Structure 1
């Protein structure tokens, strides 16, 4: 067969090359779409990913450094975690005043700037790694909407993004970056209803599976100091209750602040992810009653309400509407 004239041959080559250029662009775009698509995991997998996250954060050994953005500042911290049945962990500040928190067994000990150590109760699900919700046994129901987002890379690890969005204005949401293989949280952000980031932490260096040494889990200072408990068992039924709880919140227990009068109570409420503390204490009769006021420290809100003889303080990582509703509906179960 006779060769094509040069003009026709060039035209065919241009068409041929144009086809592959267009095809290459199409396949490249398709590949990028698939890589970023949330369809890599079914929406129903979000619950499973969160369950695996809660297990990983308790059972894995890991150590690393992370930054924590909150209340208009950025702190650098380092954490050592020994997982398993005898879970232990230690959190150290790398910037600002020297401080550390050690969790072992049923206690959390706080050490700061050479001040006396403070012993805090170790609530079930408490974590030293910030902004990590405890999702064990939580069905979410009508309170939160779960969604699996795309992929990202954090501290050198590939991560899957999971969104936990509130269905109402009584709670905040989470965006979580979970390590692809172990599901350990690499980054977490608390977001408002407009999906704006309010607080976040992110690992910048992490070694998953590296077991901490004993010295990594032991307080570096004030080791001979006996910590004073911040709270004591109530020893009786609560005298107070929140009469108008926001949807989904339930009573989780009560204690007594150790340094307050016996009539003072600390009531705890939770919706499974968000926790709220309600403190009821007698007012000094010589101090005039104060107007209600709201303080914000990052996502932590503190709402104060006086009832005359009693001062009520409600605090938690929840919006103001939640704190105010709870503070204004505290009622006596029996006459104090």
Structure 2
């Protein structure tokens, strides 16, 4: 019996030695980021998730699939007022019941899926670390930490499905602070059979606002000659939109470092308002009243950074 046990142990050890080893590169943060990006483009899934922000908890059904060479996604609010967000490639639609003034909450899947276009630039402003393995939604996952390299950005933690690379949980936090926002799947079905009908909105919902393609082409206006004179290093202008309001054109300028983004609004308004700061989860809004305009900075950045940006908004040369 003793000889048989020794022989069995030797065989098992032999198989262990001969098993293919997992290389360090295959377990690196960079490898898992690329796996996540590929999963966002190629993997179909559906599931139920929760989103915690500003003390409010929302439950959502999420549908995600590659269709016609694009990534399609549909987010259905399961709690509170009915609302849906539908993304078809670069087109995003927010749908609400008629007369609704509620806001739809979107999971951070799109943000991380878009990282592919700017992964190299992002690495100059964030440090990526592999932190180990945990379970999320009943599945084994790899945890990655995304640490900002300055005080003008938040940090993130990501939990990626070990089998597919799909993002199962995302957490936003100030450096050394408690989580500001958490998104997490509680159940998920990989390889779900989804077709175009899966991305049709529920009955009784309508689009809140027109998409860029429905708007008239922007025109040059005095408001467009305003902009921030200071930006955190790495942020560049990614979009500019002009919308007409009762008192004049409202200009919005969006900025991103490839991962984090914020928007600066310039709205003609008589100087009767006040300077205010508000925050909801990871999103901050800073309002600065000028003599003839109101400046607003909105984004997932620290309050002090948003205040400095707002204070720097001046006429552009």
- TM tier relative to shorter chain: 0.7 to 0.9
Partner residue, 1:115: 99
Q: Which runs of 5+ in 2 are unaligned?
A: 1-21
SS class of match (2:74): strand
What is the distance in 2 between the residues matched to 1:50 and 1:260?
A: 46
Partner residue, 1:77: 60
Bigger shift: residues 256-265 or 96-105: 256-265
CA contact (8 A) 1:252 1:268 kept: yes
Partner residue, 1:186: 168
Match of 2:132 among 126, 129, 150: 150
What is the distance in 2 between the residues matched to 1:143 and 1:248?
A: 7
Query: How large is the Cα RMSD of the aligned pairs?
Result: 2.8
Partner residue, 2:152: 170
SS class of match (1:56): helix
When residues 41 and 64 of structure 1 are mapped into structure 2, their CA distance, relative to the original with a 3 A threshold, is: farther
- Normalising by structure 2, we get a TM-score of 0.81
Encode CA deviations 1:117-168: one digit per residue, 9 max, x unaligned. Answer: 99x9xxxxxx953264332132234411110010011112110001001111
Count of paired positions: 285
SS class of match (1:313): strand
Partner residue, 2:18: none
Deviation at 1:220, TM superposition (A): 0.8
When residues 69 and 179 of structure 1 are mapped into structure 2, their CA distance, relative to the original with a 3 A threshold, is: same
CA contact (8 A) 1:177 1:186 kept: yes
Q: Which runs of 5+ in 1 are unaligned?
A: 1-38, 121-126
Map 1:29-178 onto structure 2 (within 5 A). Answer: 45-84=28-67, 85-115=69-99, 128-130=106-108, 132-133=111-112, 134-136=114-116, 137-139=118-120, 140-178=122-160
Encode CA deviations 1:244-293: one digit per residue, 9 max, x unaligned. Answer: 1112211112111355655321001111111010000101x3x5242x21
Deviation at 1:227, TM superposition (A): 6.0
What is the distance in 1 between the residues matched to 2:155 and 2:207?
A: 38
Partner residue, 1:297: 280
Encode CA deviations 1:45-93: one digit per residue, 9 max, x unaligned. Answer: 2123223212312331110001111110211100111215132221111
When residues 61 and 115 of structure 1 are mapped into structure 2, their CA distance, relative to the original with a 3 A threshold, is: farther
Partner residue, 2:242: 256
Partner residue, 1:30: none
What is the distance in 2 between the residues matched to 1:115 and 1:77?
A: 22
Q: Which has the larger radius of gyration?
A: 1
When residues 226 and 325 of structure 1 are mapped into structure 2, their CA distance, relative to the original with a 3 A threshold, is: closer
Partner residue, 2:193: 211
When residues 289 and 129 of structure 1 are mapped into structure 2, their CA distance, relative to the original with a 3 A threshold, is: closer
- Normalising by structure 1, we get a TM-score of 0.77
The answer to whether structure 1 residue 229 and structure 2 residue 229 are counterparts is no
Partner residue, 1:29: none
SS class of match (1:49): helix
What is the distance in 2 between the residues matched to 1:230 and 1:281?
A: 20
What is the distance in 2 between the residues matched to 1:277 and 1:43?
A: 37
What is the distance in 1 between the residues matched to 2:134 and 2:234?
A: 32
SS class of match (1:148): strand
When residues 259 and 61 of structure 1 are mapped into structure 2, their CA distance, relative to the original with a 3 A threshold, is: farther
